[in-house]
Amino acid sequence: MIIFGTKGYLYQLAILTLVCGQCKNPAAHTLRKRVTKFTLFFVPLFPISTKYLTQCTFCGAEEKVTKEQAEQLQTQSTNGPSGQPHGQPQQHDRF
């Protein structure tokens, strides 16, 4: 018997102040990286997909961004007042 599946990891890269495309409010947005890894016997082996997205903290709308856009937004956030990365990775199981 072989047990396999996927496991999702969500990394919060930065918190930015942007104008939301959905609600048009200037609000904080979280920049996140979602990585899905293939697992064998519950051991994550290799990434299957990587996606970047921003989420508005006012209305909850999510928008996908490219890797290049995410890197640019992250660079802008580190040049801000704190200059510190935000958050810790969170794990999400999918079966």
Provide the greatest CA pair distance for the chain: 53
- What span, in angstroms and rounded, lies between the C-alpha atoms of 62 and 93? 20
Task: Check residue 66 and report its DSSP letter.
Answer: -
pLDDT value at 29 more than 90: yes
pLDDT confidence of residue 85? 45
pLDDT confidence of residue 94? 52
pLDDT value at 86 more than 50: no
